[in-house]
Amino acid sequence: MRKLVVHGGYKLQGELKVSGAKNSVLPILAATVLNGGLNVIGNIPKLSDVDVMVKILRAVGCEVKRENGTVIVDSSKLNNHRIPEELVREMRSSIVVLGAMLSRCSETIVSYPGGCEIGPRPIDLHLKSLRELGAIIEEKHGFLICKAQKLKGCEIQLDFPSVGATENIMLAATCAEGVTVIRNAAREPEIKDLEDFINKMGGKISGAGSATIKIQGVKNLHEVEHTIIPDRIVAGTYLAAAAITKGEILLKNVVPEHLQSAIYKLKECGCRVLYTNDSIKLVAPSRLHAIESIKTMPYPGFPTDMQSQIMSLMTVSDGISIITENIFENRYKHAYELIRMGANIKIDGRVAIIKGVPKLTGANVTANDLRGGAALILAGLVAEGTTIIENTKHIERGYDNIEEALKSVGAKIQRL
């Protein structure tokens, strides 16, 4: 099993370029099956989740080439509507292929998805919405058997602004008959990136980034070239890494607008943050201030994917911070690993109370999920001594060679 060894006490200083957004790449790769032709996609990060999605595309007959951060998908030879169970169970986001495959093949079979164990993430909104579009879905022996001779546009009101459900509806409705309107849609930047990709291939989608998205179904799509937006969570993680080490960092290839809620909290804990259209500079204080209240919310609120990293910051802050996790009910596993390193954290249901301590100490810890693993790296950067992080496969799902990036700005970290 792979491990990361982090030697604490080194200040991060320098410049980093942010990679493409994992949460954009996966639905956009799924969307490549729609046009039955060539798709050229740039700024693709090297992630295990991307590897899984590429395997899924190849399994259904697509030709996929990867060249220096670019993925070329030819979906003209798609010849299989069954998604391999072992791939779907490996990655939660694989469920987004459902809408695209239904649109292209009128039939698909997929198992229930896997991924990080951060609490129940039911796909009932996905299935309910696809049924409203005309799909017939049977659930048998852990599989979803989905058929749709003709998908028809309709109005869909989401009970919760689910990112995955919004994406699946957009993919399924792109070539559906008539107009589809999604109300209470997810507003994340990755939704807008998917809209841009589909529209470049001839789709007619408007409203992404707002609570109402309109999809006018089209009959034909064409070849497309697209560049993935920067990863706002990777950017936020690097900013937090500089903050916890009392360092200074300049991020390039970033969209500050996508990080406003995280930037606001970093300023609240004493960091100085400056930015242009495509860069962010953070200068950390000599001592981090506690953040009185952090509540995770759907975008543009504070992202659940940054909760773990901010918790690491607060473990060495001056005062008491309170975090409320409103998205996933089981996303505090990293807290118990931070406690092993000397953090003072109390968990009560969805609420975490963090009392800052003068220092953390290195320990053997385990990454139980993607963002929790990133939080442990941050803690290791500031801890006294050496931290060994096990089960790093989760970290590799969402960070492109994170140890090399951090080493380039002064961290002492290596992979075993």
Binding-site residues for UDP-N-acetyl-alpha-D-glucosamine, in ranges, read: 92, 121-125, 305, 327
Query: Could you give phi then psi for residue 125, rounded to 5 degrees?
Result: -65, -35
CA 89 to chain centroid: 17
Residue type, 333: K
DSSP string, 183-210: ES----HHHHHHHHHHHHTT-EEE-BTB
CA 156 to chain centroid: 24
For 59, which DSSP code?
H
* Burial (CB count within 10 angstroms: exposed 0-12, middle 13-18, buried 19+), residue 133: buried
Q: How many CA atoms lie within 13 A of 82 on its CB side?
A: 4
Which residue in 115, 104, 58, 109 sits closest to 83, CA to CA? 109
Question: What is the arrangement of strands in the sheet containing 107-111, beginning at the earlier edge strand?
Answer: 107-111, 143-147, 136-140
Query: Could you give phi then psi for residue 144, rounded to 5 degrees?
Result: -110, 115
Cβ atoms of 120 and 126 closer than 8 Å: no
Cβ atoms of 76 and 37 closer than 8 Å: yes
Buried b (16+ CB within 10 A) or exposed e, 345-365: bebeebebebebeeebbbbeb
Q: How far apart are CA 49 and CA 170, in angstroms?
A: 21
**Helix or strand holding residue 294 (H, E):** strand 293-295
Catalytic: which of 62, 105, 116, 269? Answer: 116
Q: How far apart are CA 154 and CA 180, in angstroms?
A: 5
**Residues forming the annotated binding site for phosphoenolpyruvate?**
22-23
DSSP string, 87-125: HHTT-GGGGGHHHHHHHHHSEEEEEPP----SS----HH
Tell me, yes or no, if 146 is annotated catalytic: no
* 3-class DSSP assignment, residue 390: strand
Q: Which residues are known catalytic residues? A: 116
